[in-house]
Amino acid sequence: MPLRITCRAAEPLDLRADVTALGVFVFTRELPAPLKPLDALLGGGLTKLLAKEEFTGKKDQSLSIPMLGRGPSERLVLIGLGEKTAVGDGDVRALAAKAARLTNVDRSAHLVLGIPIELQEHLRAAAEGLELGAYRFTKYLTGDRRPKTELDEVTVAIAHKPGAKTKRAIELGQRVALAINQARDLSNEPGNALPPEGLAAAAQAVAKEHDLKIHVFDHKEILRRGMKLIDAVGRGSVHEPRFVHIEYVPKKAKKRLVFVGKGITFDSGGVSIKPAAGMGEMKHDMSGAANVIGLMDAVAVLQPEVEVHGIVACAENMPDGNAYRPGDVWGSLDGKTVEIINTDAEGRLLLADALAYARTLAPDLLVDNATLTGACVVALGTTCSGYYASNDATAELFRRAVKASGEQMWQLPLLEDLREQLKSEVADIKQTGDRFGGSITAALFLREFIGEAKHWVHVDIAGPASTERLLGWAQSKGATGHGVLTFLALVEQAAE
């Protein structure tokens, strides 16, 4: 259920609620103005408490104070915003998300959010943060395990009377975040509930809702088109692979952007089977595909004057008598032959065919994203994705989008000297390199399949990490959606 979010021209502490959350810039002696009346009512008690707790509004500081009947709500939460200089969409989004999450943790339903006047032009980001922060995956909890009270109503206290523009900003932000939450729902679905055909059906549902053109290739069509690597990866599963292409084509389009996602609904490793510990996390191995589906949903809502195509390749990687094996040589949609080294490096195979398809759309920018390597998680941890770009200008474009989104991503190099590791004796190219530089050699492998596409970015997503961890505002487990905000920023940049 979407939150009921309204804006009201009021001082936040004049509004009744269960929880009142206030964003506070760094202050030295003087309390922020909205807190002064309450401080007076408490005989200076607030000033004393903040001094004792050393709360000065530093970034990521927060203080939760029970009001015990003396304030406008049960609980007052102060959230530090840091210095007044470095604040934008990302900070407001994080503030709102933190407030929403704390309200849920407090088992409360109604939140009043106070945003400093300097930041009140970022209301879309505030609405995004509220929905993202309120997200929980509770679908499979029953009876007592279900949360009893959940955040459902938010009043945002602002200085001016809310007009049509304010309403629109809130609505857009909310719908963008719900698209991301839908991606997170897909990522969190266990493998038994979401096989490749289920993932394709989710894409179909989004296309139908927004009247977007969609092509879904079943196994037969995948074979007919020569997507031999997608076939190879999916062979060990009783669930057939699917290939999906969603189109958003507005009348006046300045550019064409193509996004590709890895949709492995469960990655057992196949014949090169993974160790038992942690294997269950590999239900999230379709996070890249989920991101693309969520992105298409958000794009359809925002209606930018840019053509956006979403491509997802879906398969399940399982061991079986029919499964592909190490030592195999397989053809590809591109035409190159690939020597299989390890059936657990399945993502790059799926993406190779997806990229070979995507490049035929002559994209101005081609972006793929995938939970591709454990090596990237080793390098950057679980809160940061790695990205590679085919040239500096493209990297710069992407870096700007990352900055605008507030997501954590770090550029990694396409080191040419590692390309040698992919030389094969029996085929055109080897599937994997040696032990070291695993994320880089995976990226170099993908580059072999982009053909004439000049502007390409590959994102190695930070494994099954959650959006809130990646944006640095909470600690809940659950997966991803990480990347959608950056991809949306890219789309909006292209529309400028």
Closer CB to Zn ion, 342 or 360, in the complex: 342
For residue 263, the minimal CB distance to ligand BES (Å) is 11
Residue 431 or 486 having the CB closest to ligand BES:
431
Question: Which residues sit opposite 411 in a β-bridge?
Answer: 387
Shortest Cβ 438–ligand BES spacing (Å): 6
Using CB under 5 A as the criterion, what x/- string covers residues 327-366 for binding Zn ion?
--------------------x-------------------
- For ligand BES, the closer of residues 280 and 335 by Cβ is 280
- The runs of H, that is alpha helices, within 311-454 are 347-358, 374-380, 392-405, 438-447
CB nearer to Zn ion: pick between 347 and 481: 347
| Residue whose Cβ sits closest to ligand BES | 463
- Left (φ > 0), alpha (ψ -120 to 50) or beta: where does 478 sit? left
From 342, 413, 434, 451, residue interacting with ligand BES (rule: CB under 6 A): 342
Of the candidates 181, 214, 433, which has an alpha carbon nearest to the alpha carbon of residue 310? 214
**What is the size of the binding site for Zn ion (CB under 5 A)?**
4
| CA gap 415, 417 in Å, rounded | 6
Choosing among Zn ion, ligand BES, Mn ion, none, which partner's interface includes residue 119 (Cβ < 5 to 8 Å by kind)? none
Phi, psi of 486 (to 5 degrees): -70, -45
Quick one: which of 463, 478, 481, 483 contacts ligand BES (CB under 6 A)?
463
Please provide residue 80's backbone torsions phi and psi, each rounded to the nearest 5 degrees: -70, 135
Closest separation in Å from C-beta 348 to ligand BES = 8
61-75 residues labelled b (16+ CB within 10 A) or e (exposed):
bbbebeeeeebbbbb
Instruction: Name the residues annotated as catalytic.
Output: 274, 348
**Contact yes or no for 347/446 (Cβ under 8 A):** no
Q: Is 344 in the site for Mn ion (CB under 5 A)?
A: yes
Residue number, 108 or 385, with CB nearest to ligand BES = 385
**Shortest Å distance, C-beta 366 to ligand BES:** 21
Helix axes 484-495, 392-405, angle to 10 degrees: 110
Tokens of 283: 């239900």
Does 332 help bind ligand BES (rule: CB under 6 A)?
Answer: no
434 binding ligand BES? (CB under 6 A): no
Distance of CA 252 to the CA centre of its chain: 28
Interaction partner, residue 90 (Zn ion, Mn ion, ligand BES, none; CB < 5-8 Å by kind): none
- Between 267 and 460, CB nearer to Zn ion: 267
Determine the residue with CB nearest Mn ion.
344
Asked if residue 77 lies in contact with residue 83, where contact means CB atoms within 8 angstroms, the answer is no
Nearer Cβ to ligand BES, position 198 or 270? Answer: 270
Burial 339-356 (b: 16+ CB within 10 A, else e): bbbebbbbbbbbbbbbbb
Least Å distance, CB 320 to Zn ion, is 17
Which residue among 173, 347, 406, 478 contacts ligand BES (CB under 6 A)? 347
Q: Are 367 and 490 in contact (CB under 8 A)?
A: yes
Query: Measured between alpha carbons, how far is 368 from 230 in angstroms, rounded to an integer?
Result: 16
| SS3 at position 57 | coil
Lookup: tokens for 78: 């102060």
Q: Quick one: which segment of 67-75, 166-174, 341-349, 465-473 binds Mn ion (CB under 5 A)? A: 341-349
Count of Cβ atoms closer than 10 Å to residue 29 Cβ:
7
Q: Which of residues 243-282 bind ligand BES (CB under 6 A)?
A: 267
Examine residue 363 and tell whether it contacts ligand BES (CB under 6 A): no
Select from 106, 285, 339, 353 the one that contacts Zn ion (CB under 5 A). 285
To Zn ion, the closest distance from the beta carbon of 386 in angstroms equals 15
Is 267 an interacting residue with respect to Mn ion (CB under 5 A)? yes
Stretch that binds ligand BES, among 63-71, 178-186, 290-298, 374-382 (CB under 6 A): 374-382
Question: Coil, strand or helix: which one is 129?
Answer: helix
For residue 85, the minimal CB distance to Zn ion (Å) is 42
Q: Which does 394 bind (CB under 5 to 8 A by kind): ligand BES, Mn ion, Zn ion, none?
A: none
Query: Out of 267, 334, 339, 468, which residue is the one contacting Zn ion (CB under 5 A)?
Result: 267
Task: Return the bridge partners of 221, or none.
Answer: none
* Residue 267 or 407 having the CB closest to Mn ion: 267
Q: Which of 73, 268, 371, 480 is the binder for ligand BES (CB under 6 A)? A: 371
The tokens for 438 are: 């695993």
- Residue 432 binds ligand BES (CB under 6 A): yes
Asked whether the CA dihedral 230, 234, 235, 238 is positive or negative, the reply is negative
* Helix%, strand%, coil% for the chain, nearest 5: 40, 20, 40
57 binds ligand BES (CB under 6 A): no
List of residues 6+ apart from 97 with CB closer than 8 A:
129, 130, 132, 133, 468, 471, 473, 474
By CB under 5 A, name the binding residues for Mn ion.
Answer: 267, 344
Query: Applying CB under 6 A, which residues contact ligand BES?
Result: 267, 285, 342, 344-347, 371-375, 377, 432, 438, 463
Residues that bind Zn ion (CB under 5 A): 264, 267, 285, 347
